[in-house]
Structure 1
C-alpha cells in the first residue's frame, strides 16, 4: 500500500470540493511527474469514474476514493497531504520527501547509484551556496567525471569541496569509484560563491 497520508483537514477540504462536482463518484488521483528526478512534481487531479488506470492502486478514505499512479507509489512513501488555514483562507499542501529520490540499491547501475548519492547527500549541502554537481560519466579506472554548476562554478573552494567532500563520500560509499574529476570551466565566475 502506498505510504501516503491525508490529514483530516485535507480529507474534509477535498470532500467538499468533490461534492461540488457534477458527476457522481468523483475521486482524486495522485501522481508524480518525472518521479525520481530533481524535477519531480506531485500532483492531485479529479478522477471521474472510468478515468483511473487499471494499474492504479485504490486507497479508500471515508468520504472519497483516491487512485494512486502505480509508477509513483514508491516515490510517495512518507508523503503527507494537508490543508492548513491562514489569514488568506487555506491551502492544500503536498509534502512528498521521496518524490525526487531515485529508487536505488547496490544492484542498481553504477551511474544511478552515483546520481542518488549526489542528489540526496552532496547537492543539498552545495545548495546552500547556490551550487550543484552532476555526473557526466564514469571512465576507465573508476573515475567519476563531475560537472559543477550554479555557485560552484568558478568558486575558489571547489577543489577542496571536490577532494575533501565529494570524492571521500563517493569512494567510501561506492566501491567501484576510485577518484573524481571535475570538467567544469571555472574561469566563468559570474555566480561563484567564493
Structure 2
C-alpha cells in the first residue's frame, strides 16, 4: 500500500521526507506541463548509489525521473511539497530525510540540486583486503578509490614511500600547483587513508606546489 504523507496540501513540513523549494518546484512543474499526461505524473527521487566528490568526500548519487502516481511501488512514500507530487522509494527514505530539492546557487548552472545533510558510510563504500603490506594496501586504496576521482580533474596522487606510520605522497597533474590541492590532500585524501589503513597515522605532502600554477596543463 502506498504511504501518503500529504493528502492534499495539509501536511506539515515536518511530515515530508525531502523538501522542495518553490524555485525547484517551478522547474519540475514546467517540465510536467509539457507532458501530455503531466497531471498524472509525480517527481520520483531515489538514491542511486554513492560517488566521491571533488573534495574527496563520499556523497549520494541520485536518480530523478517523472513517474506515474498511480503505479508506484508498495513501499513508496508519496506526498506533496510546493504543489509538486513527490515519490520517494522506500529504500531511499532514511537517507533523503532532511534533504532539500533546490536550484543551483549559480543561475548559469541550470538543472536541480539536492542539498542533503546525510552522507554514506565510507566503511561500506570501501572494501580493502586485509592481506598485503601497509604499502600494498595503501597503493590499492589510491589506485581504486582515490585516483579515479582525482582523474576527473586532471590530477593524481602517487605513493612515494611508507616510513614507520607515515605515508609520503606526491600530487601530480592538475593537482600540482593548484591552490586547493594541499587542502584536498589533508582534508580529503588523508582522512580516507588514515581511516582505511589504520597503520598510517600521518600523511606527508612532498609535492613541489611552486612548480607552476598548473603544470599538467602547460
TM range (shorter): 0.3 to 0.5
TM-score normalised by L of structure 1: 0.48
Higher helix share: 2
